[in-house]
Structure 1
Amino acid sequence: MSTAPMATPVLEFPPTVRPLSADAPMSPDAAVSVRGLARRYGEVRALQDVSFDIAPNTICGLLGANGAGKTTLMSLISGQDRPSAGTLQVFGREPFDDAAVLTQLCFARENQAYPDTFAVRHVLTTCPLFLPHWDADFADELVETFRLPLNHKIRKLSRGQLSAVAIVAGLASRAPLTFLDEPYLGLDPTARRRFYDALLRDYAEHPRTILMSTHLIGEVEGFFEQVLVIDDGRLLVDASAEDIAELAFTVSGPAKAVEAATGDRQVLETHRIGGLASAVVLGTPDAAMHRRAAESGLEIGPVGLQDLIAALGAAPHGTAEARAHDQEATR
C-alpha cells in the first residue's frame, strides 16, 4: 500500500472554514480573541499570523501534527508566554501577568511539573488556592474513578496516573477557560472512556470554554463544536463541526478511474493498494462528480476528521514548533 500526498501550492478552502483576517476587529464577547498572533524563537517562526475567536461555553478542538504549534499557541493564550507580534485577549483582557484573567484559567497536561515532595493529595489541597471555581467533591469523585493513590509521590506515578492527575485538576477546576493538552497520554482505552464521560457530563452541567488538543481525533471528534487546524505554525482551518464535515470527500475505485475523475479537483492525498485507489478530495462532490463516479464504478464517501487532518497536515517532523524548541534547547 502506498500513500501519496499531493503537492498543492495553495489550498482553496471555502469561506466557511477560512481563518479570520488579522485586520478583523477583536470580538469583545469572545472567550478568546486572537489577531495576527506570532511567536518567534530566534530565527524560527513557531506561529505565524494566527487569527480566530472562540465563543464562551464552547468545546474547541485544536488539531495538527506534532510540532505544528498547538502547545505554543496554548502557552500564549494561557499567559505562560508572550507573543512576538499580534493581539490576544482572554475574556476581553490580555492574559499575561493579569491575575484577574489567570485565575479563570486552568492548563492541564500530563507532564505538569510538581515539587518533588508532592503527593497526589497535595495537588488536591493546592489547586483550590489558585483556582476559585474548584469543586472538591468532584475532584474526590474523579480520584476514585481513576483509582489514584492519594499518598503516593507524584514523581513515583506511572504515566497513566500522571495523566489522571492532570484530568482531575483540569475538570475539577471548573475554570471558565480550561486547556486540555493531550491529558490522556498513558491512559488505556477504558480510562480514556471514563475521562470522556466525565468531561461531557460535567460540561453539560457546568458549561465553560474548553480548548483541547488531541491526536486521538476519532475518539473525540463528536465533542467539538469548533475545530482549529494548525500546520507548521499557521492556522489552516477555523470551522464549526458541521462545516468541516463538508470540507472534503473520498473517491474510491480503480486507480486510473479515480485519477481521471479527480484530475480537475484539488486532491489532498491518495492511497493505493494494487490497482485500486482512494483519493481525499477538497470540496464537496457536485453533480458532475457524481455522474463520473456512477459511470466509472467509483464510490464517493465522507472523510473522517482523523483522515482529513492527516491529509491536510505536513510531516510530523521538522515543523516550526519543533525547530523552535530545538533552538531553545541549544542556548
Structure 2
Amino acid sequence: MKIEVKNLSKRYKDTNALDHVSFTLAEPKIYGLLGRNGAGKTTFMDILSGHILASGGEILIDGENPFDNQRLTESICLIKEGNNFKRDLKIKNVLRIFAYFYPTWDQQLADELIREYNLNPNAKVKALSKGMESALGIIVGMASKAPITIFDEPYIGLDAAARKKFYDILLEEFEAEKRMIIFSTHLIDEVSLMFEEILILQNGKLVMKEEAEVLRNSTCAVSGTADEVEAFISDKDVIEKKQIAGMMTAYVHADMKQAQSAGLTAEGIPIQELMIHLTEKKGA
C-alpha cells in the first residue's frame, strides 16, 4: 500500500499539532516514527488510521482518504499505549471482535501469542495489569496481519525480557510476511536497529525522513583536539559540538572513514542521540 501525506495540518484551538507535513511511504518496511512529546506523532497516527480528520491537507492511502472508509480501515491496525479495548470484555471476546473486523486475521498466531505471554483468555481487560494489557495490544497488532500496522508506545508495563520477546516476534513475522509497520517509541536505543527508515517530527513539522542505513553511514561523532576538529568540520553540516579543555567532539554529517583519515577518532551516532540533537538544534 502507498501512503501519501500532502501538506497535512491539524490544529487544536491555538496549537498546530501538525503543520504542513508532506512525505510518501511506498514500501513494506519497518518505519521508526520519532520525536519528543507533543511533536505530532499521535495526531498523525490518528489521522492515518482514519480516527480523526485533518484541518488541512490530506493523507491518501492508495489514492483514498482513510476517514470513514471501511475498505481502508480494515487494512490499518493502530495499537496505542493504552485504552485499546473495552474494559468489560474478556480477552477471548476481544480477539473474536478483531478477528471479525480484519480479513487478514491470523487466529493461529493469536493463540500462540496468548500462550507466549501467558494470558488467560477468560480474564477481563479491566482485571489485567498494565503489562498484560500491553501484551494483548501486541497480540492484536501482530495477529491482525494488517497491511499497515501501527504501534504507538505499545509496551507500557512490559519488563525488558517481555519487550525483547515482542521485538523478536515482530521481526520474525515481518520477515515471514512483509507489511508496512510504523513504530513510534521513546525507547529508541532498544529498537533502532530494526528501523529501515526513520521519520522525525518536531513541533508538528517533519525535520527528517531518511533511510536508517544512509543515516548511520552519513553521520558520525568525531573527536580530537579543538583545532583538528574545527578544521575538519569547517565545510560540513554540524549537528552539535562540545568542547572540554582543548578537546572537542562534534556530531557531523560526514563519512566516518574520511574523519579517520584526517587523524580523528570517529564513531557512529546512536539514533536516539541523533534524534535528541536534531530536535534541540535551533531552527530545526
Q: Structure 1: give runs of 5+ residues left out of the alignment.
A: 1-29, 316-331
Which deviates more, 126-135 or 167-176? 126-135
Asked if 1:97 corresponds to 2:63, the answer is: no
Within 2, Cα distance between the matches of 1:135 and 1:264?
53
Within 2, Cα distance between the matches of 1:131 and 1:62?
24
Which deviates more, 169-178 or 143-152? 143-152
Asked if 1:160 corresponds to 2:131, the answer is: yes
The residue aligned with 1:306 is 272
Aligned 8 A contact 2:217 2:256 in 1: no
Q: Give the CA deviation at 1:250.
A: 0.7
Within 1, Cα distance between the matches of 2:147 and 2:89?
26
Within 2, Cα distance between the matches of 1:183 and 1:64?
16
The residue aligned with 1:179 is 150
Q: Give the CA deviation at 1:272.
A: 5.5
One-letter identity of the residue aligned with 2:164 = R
Q: Percent identity?
A: 38
Which protein has greater RCO, CA pairs closer than 8 Å, 6+ apart?
A: 1
The residue aligned with 2:162 is 191
Aligned 8 A contact 1:31 1:209 in 2: no
Aligned 8 A contact 2:79 2:141 in 1: yes
The residue aligned with 1:14 is none
Within 1, Cα distance between the matches of 2:87 and 2:14?
35
What secondary structure is seen at the aligned counterpart in 2 of 1:93?
coil
Within 2, Cα distance between the matches of 1:283 and 1:86?
35
The residue aligned with 2:92 is 121
What secondary structure is seen at the aligned counterpart in 1 of 2:280?
coil
Root mean square deviation, CA, Å: 2.2
Within 1, Cα distance between the matches of 2:124 and 2:246?
57
Within 2, Cα distance between the matches of 1:286 and 1:141?
46
The one-character-per-residue Cα deviations of 1:126-173 (angstroms, maximum 9, x if unpaired) are 111211111111001011111122222212222211110110010000
Aligned 8 A contact 2:75 2:146 in 1: yes
Q: Give the CA deviation at 1:222.
A: 2.2
One-letter identity of the residue aligned with 2:63 = G
Within 1, Cα distance between the matches of 2:241 and 2:170?
36
Among 54, 59, 63, the alignment partner of 2:25 is 54
The residue aligned with 1:201 is 172
What secondary structure is seen at the aligned counterpart in 2 of 1:313?
helix
- The verdict on how the C-alpha distance between 1:302 and 1:113 changes in structure 2, with shifts beyond 3 A counting, is closer
The residue aligned with 1:148 is 119
* 1:200-239 aligned within 5 A: 200-239=171-210
What secondary structure is seen at the aligned counterpart in 1 of 2:134?
helix
Within 1, Cα distance between the matches of 2:267 and 2:171?
29
What secondary structure is seen at the aligned counterpart in 2 of 1:278?
strand
Q: Give the CA deviation at 1:233.
A: 0.8
Aligned 8 A contact 1:108 1:179 in 2: yes
TM-score normalised to structure 1 length: 0.78
Among 229, 249, 258, the alignment partner of 1:278 is 249
Within 2, Cα distance between the matches of 1:272 and 1:251?
12
TM-score normalised to structure 2 length: 0.90
Aligned 8 A contact 1:145 1:194 in 2: no
The residue aligned with 1:67 is 38
Asked if 1:78 corresponds to 2:44, the answer is: no
Which deviates more, 109-118 or 226-235? 109-118
Which deviates more, 238-247 or 156-165? 238-247
Within 2, Cα distance between the matches of 1:126 and 1:135?
13
Q: Give the CA deviation at 1:247.
A: 3.7
- The verdict on how the C-alpha distance between 1:195 and 1:290 changes in structure 2, with shifts beyond 3 A counting, is closer
Q: Give the CA deviation at 1:259.
A: 4.7
Aligned 8 A contact 1:112 1:166 in 2: no
- The verdict on how the C-alpha distance between 1:226 and 1:145 changes in structure 2, with shifts beyond 3 A counting, is same
